[in-house]
């Protein structure tokens, strides 16, 4: 029996819409469903785009402050938070309408509603009590990820997740960020630039766990001037309402407990795959031990009708990974044979300075017992860095000792995110280094 659609894509984030548009270009009849009425997913509405828009404002503020050192004196900017919020919302609106246009152009049918599986070839879609079933030949799950909640602490108007922080409803005098990962540090940078006194608490012995310590060391030197406190090896115990805002209990490595007052707390302790609503038990799709959907390198799950891409699968939770996987899954479904086997997925942290990495870190090379050497290029010798008065940078290249191939690159410094793409091409194309 002919199905309602050849390809059903669940989730219209960067993974889902890229898959839908690619499949439509390859001639498939495509239906795209999202529980939000708009396209773009977390990246466009609650992630990359609003955060990068606000980080751009933060960069201008910091640059104007630094310029005093070479004779350009700006007065302290007045912050019109309503206008800044509208600018951010306008950026999102423009990009959302671009995606709506592309959806129509590709003749992809968009359905607003929450999808759950009935079996391996049928979903039920619910929207405010209205119900419909859609049958499909193949489906791609691209439902992304959600912020992890801190045990016994509910998000509310004072205890924020990244979405509340990006709403930019107010600039708190004192803000505590729980979690020293990239999302917390980027949002902390925004609020520090806008005038908040920002503190960070991190459970492990260093912020940005997983990154090589030499890169973090250079980054932290400047961060210490921007943030009021960075408490590592420190555990959040509880947050309670107090007369002035929130009373927070923190415990250090030795077990000493201190109570501190903050106006707002932002919990940013990681993200988890959003599988809850899908009723995957009605299919043959299986999950790994961390709850991510298992796939092979063609992005096919254990159910032959169903593929999975983006944050719902393991690996870095990044928008460009999701969109690349979307294209590959669509091509496989359309009858081509494509594999997702990246050697180097670039990852950028848009703080001040930026950090960008691709390929293997030194930590990873050690774990994998790889015989490597490191080439360090401090930015003290970079003409551009000197002319910007920002020599707080390092380019670090990992080379396989035997083959002389570049296996990993880490960069810390102003504009690191713009340099990393060239390095990614070098690793993906197995280039070697001239020494």
Our CB check for ligand FAD shows the closer of 184 and 413 to be 184
Our CB check for ligand FAD shows the closer of 293 and 365 to be 293
CB proximity list for 51: less than 8 A, separation 6 or greater: 162, 166, 183, 186, 187, 190, 350
State the nearest-atom distance from the C-beta of 106 to ligand FAD, in Å. Answer: 17
- Structure-token match 């609650």, residue found: 46
Check if the beta carbon of residue 107 is closer than 8 Å to that of residue 27: no
Residues of this chain, 321-380, that bind ligand FAD according to CB under 6 A: 322
State the nearest-atom distance from the C-beta of 79 to ligand FAD, in Å. Answer: 20
Whether the bond into 353 is cis, omega within 30 of 0? yes
Backbone CA torsion sign across 321, 326, 332, 337: negative
Site pattern 96..135 for ligand FAD (x: CB under 6 A): ------------------xx--------------------
Length of the chain as a residue count: 435
Indicate whether 421 belongs to the interface with ligand FAD (CB under 6 A).
Answer: no
Classify residue 290 by its DSSP letter.
T
Check if the beta carbon of residue 63 is closer than 8 Å to that of residue 134: no
Cα distance between residue 44 and residue 52, in whole Å: 10
Closest to 141 measured CA to CA, from 332, 14, 36, 9: 9
Indicate whether 48 belongs to the interface with ligand FAD (CB under 6 A).
Answer: yes
Choose, by CB under 6 A, the member of 23, 42, 54, 218 that binds ligand FAD.
42
Q: 354-359 and 159-160: which strand pairing? A: unpaired
State the nearest-atom distance from the C-beta of 396 to ligand FAD, in Å. Answer: 21
State the nearest-atom distance from the C-beta of 289 to ligand FAD, in Å. Answer: 20
Residues of this chain, 239-278, that bind ligand FAD according to CB under 6 A: 274, 277-278
Q: Which whole-number Å values give the CA distances from 149 to 279, 293, 371, in the listed order?
A: 22, 20, 40
Our CB check for ligand FAD shows the closer of 30 and 365 to be 30
Our CB check for ligand FAD shows the closer of 43 and 134 to be 43
Residues of this chain, 157-186, that bind ligand FAD according to CB under 6 A: 162, 183
CA 307 to chain centre: 22
Choose, by CB under 6 A, the member of 7, 8, 9, 12 that binds ligand FAD.
12
- DSSP for 197-260 reads EEEEE-SSSSSSTTS-HHHHHHHHHHHHHHSSEEE-S-EEEEEEEETTEEEEEEE-TT--EEEE
CB proximity list for 40: less than 8 A, separation 6 or greater: 12, 13, 14, 17, 49, 92, 95, 96, 99
How many CB atoms neighbour CB 432 within 10 A?
12
Our CB check for ligand FAD shows the closer of 246 and 278 to be 278
Q: By rule CB under 6 A, what count of residues binds ligand FAD?
A: 37
Check if the beta carbon of residue 50 is closer than 8 Å to that of residue 95: no
Our CB check for ligand FAD shows the closer of 115 and 218 to be 115
Choose, by CB under 6 A, the member of 6, 36, 96, 135 that binds ligand FAD.
36
**Contacting range for ligand FAD; rule: CB under 6 A; set: 99-107, 152-160, 310-318, 327-335:** 310-318
Choose, by CB under 6 A, the member of 31, 51, 295, 424 that binds ligand FAD.
51
Indicate whether 5 belongs to the interface with ligand FAD (CB under 6 A).
Answer: no
Our CB check for ligand FAD shows the closer of 141 and 248 to be 141
Our CB check for ligand FAD shows the closer of 29 and 35 to be 35
Check if the beta carbon of residue 291 is closer than 8 Å to that of residue 273: yes
Choose, by CB under 6 A, the member of 5, 8, 9, 11 that binds ligand FAD.
11
Our CB check for ligand FAD shows the closer of 15 and 359 to be 15
Choose, by CB under 6 A, the member of 85, 106, 222, 320 that binds ligand FAD.
320
Closest to 32 measured CA to CA, from 4, 8, 6: 8
State the nearest-atom distance from the C-beta of 321 to ligand FAD, in Å. Answer: 7
Question: Which residues in this chain contact ligand FAD in the complex, by CB under 6 A?
Answer: 10-16, 33-36, 41-43, 46-48, 51-52, 114-115, 142-145, 162, 183, 274, 277-278, 310-311, 317-320, 322
């Amino acid at each position: 029996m002919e199905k309602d659609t050849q390809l059903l894509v669940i989730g219209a984030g960067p993974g889902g819409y890229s898959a839908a548009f690619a499949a439509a270009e390859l001639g498939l009849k495509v239906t795209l469903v999202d529980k939000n009425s708009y396209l773009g997913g977390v990246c466009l509405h609650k992630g990359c785009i609003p955060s990068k828009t606000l980080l751009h404002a933060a960069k201008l503020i910091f640059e104007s402050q630094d310029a005093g050192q070479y004779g350009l004196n700006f007065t302290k900017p007045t912050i019109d938070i309503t206008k800044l919020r509208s600018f951010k919302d306008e950026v999102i609106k423009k990009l959302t309408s671009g995606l709506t246009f592309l959806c129509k152009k590709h003749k992809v049918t968009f359905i607003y509603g929450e999808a759950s599986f009935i079996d391996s070839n049928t979903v039920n879609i619910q929207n405010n009590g209205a119900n419909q079933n859609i049958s499909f030949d193949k489906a791609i799950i691209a439902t992304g990820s959600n912020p992890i909640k801190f045990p016994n602490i509910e998000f509310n108007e004072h205890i924020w997740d990244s979405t509340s922080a990006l709403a930019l409803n107010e600039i708190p005098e004192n803000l505590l960020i729980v979690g020293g990962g990239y999302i917390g540090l980027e949002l902390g940078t925004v609020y520090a630039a806008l005038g908040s006194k920002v503190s960070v608490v991190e459970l492990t012995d260093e912020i940005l766990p997983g990154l090589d310590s030499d890169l973090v060391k250079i980054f932290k030197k400047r961060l210490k001037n921007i943030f009021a406190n960075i408490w590592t090896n420190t555990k959040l115990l509880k947050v309670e309402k107090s007369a002035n805002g929130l009373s927070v209990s923190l415990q250090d490595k030795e077990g000493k407990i201190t109570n501190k007052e903050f106006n707002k707390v932002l919990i940013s302790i990681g993200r988890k795959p959003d599988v809850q609503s899908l009723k995957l038990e009605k299919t043959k799709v299986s999950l790994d031990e961390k709850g991510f959907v298992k796939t092979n390198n063609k992005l096919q799950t254990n159910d032959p009708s169903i593929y999975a891409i983006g944050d719902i699968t393991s690996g870095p939770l990044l928008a460009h990974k999701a969109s690349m996987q979307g294209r590959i899954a669509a091509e496989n479904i359309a009858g081509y044979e494509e594999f997702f086997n990246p050697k180097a997925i670039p990852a950028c942290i848009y703080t001040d300075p930026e950090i960008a990495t691709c390929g293997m870190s030194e930590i990873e090379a050690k774990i994998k017992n790889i015989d490597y050497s490191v080439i360090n290029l401090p930015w003290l010798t970079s003409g551009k860095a000197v002319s910007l008065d920002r020599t707080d940078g390092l380019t670090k290249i990992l080379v396989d000792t035997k083959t002389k191939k570049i296996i990993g690159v880490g960069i810390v410094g102003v504009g690191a995110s713009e340099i990393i793409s060239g390095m990614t091409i070098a690793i993906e194309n197995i280039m070697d280094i001239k020494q």
